[in-house]
Amino acid sequence: MNICIIIPCYNEEKRLDIDKYEDFLASNKSVNLLFVNDGSVDNTSLILSKLSEKYSNSSFIDLTQNFGKANAVREGVLASLNSKYDIYAYMDADLAVELDEIPAFINLFDNEKIHFVMGSRWMRLGSNIKRKISRHYIGRVFATLASISLGLKVYDTQCGAKFFRHDLAAFLFKDKLNAKWLFDVELLFRFMASPKYKISNIFEYPVSKWTDVDGSKLKLRDFLKAPLELVNLIRIYK
């Protein structure tokens, strides 16, 4: 399979682990990493430019201003649709979900019924999930509300690793997204609203490792805005 991983970046100069990216790019030629610089004001653009010059399977889009993660991911998908990748995905630039998890995500698409694979931060025996306790409990409350609103038994809507088949990516990102903080949830609302796809086409994959990296742009106060966005999404899609 040909795979495009979209990585939105905003002021990530000090959080990009270039060694890990280079190791991955050198040994995974069938995977293209498409970085989207979302109007950074630090040296993120320069770093991504150098990385793309060095590796043929690394490319980047340089947005002139900050539009937010949802739009950055959408711009990446739309810019690469003509390349006819089999699988599209987005992951966080800080590699909270590490690159060596990618093969496990991709292998799930051997099942032709699977169109959408979601990463899930499920703390279980054998896993290494490192989250701030406050975010974990706030996240559990929100995930429950989102699950009820969607009518979908989903454990974790907000893990920053999601993979799609080409046709589904084109459908989900065709129209502008309404949510700023909860665009992951909005993608699920769009999925559920389509008569073409069924719940059986989604798989929630529990990642083996996840690390809460310092310097996240998402602050605890932003979680207070989430319920209002969720209400708005219910109004739009229900």
What are the residues whose beta carbons fall under 8 Å from the beta carbon of 27, sequence distance 6 or more? Answer: none
| Domains located in the chain, CATH noted | 3-237 (3.90.550.10)
Residue 222 has pLDDT above 90, yes or no: no
pLDDT in the model for residue 141? 80
What are residue 220's phi and psi, to 5 degrees? -60, -35
pTM above 0.75, yes or no: yes
pLDDT in the model for residue 221? 65
Q: How far is CA 1 from CA 103, 109, 114, in A?
A: 11, 10, 14
> Looking at 43-47, 133-137, 199-203, which range is the least confident one?
133-137
Residue 9 has pLDDT above 70, yes or no: yes
pLDDT, tens only, 16-60: 999 999 999 999 999 999 999 999 999 999 999 999 999 999 999
User: Measuring CA to CA, which residue among 185, 158, 155 is closest to residue 172?
Assistant: 185
Residue 218 has pLDDT above 70, yes or no: no
Band of residue 129 on the pLDDT scale cut at 50, 70, 90: confident
**Secondary structure class of 6 (helix, strand, coil):** strand
Q: Percentage of the chain surpassing pLDDT 90?
A: 77
**Secondary structure class of 80 (helix, strand, coil):** helix
List b or e across 40-52, with b for residues whose CB sees 16 or more CB atoms inside 10 angstroms. beeebbebbeebb
Band of residue 219 on the pLDDT scale cut at 50, 70, 90: low
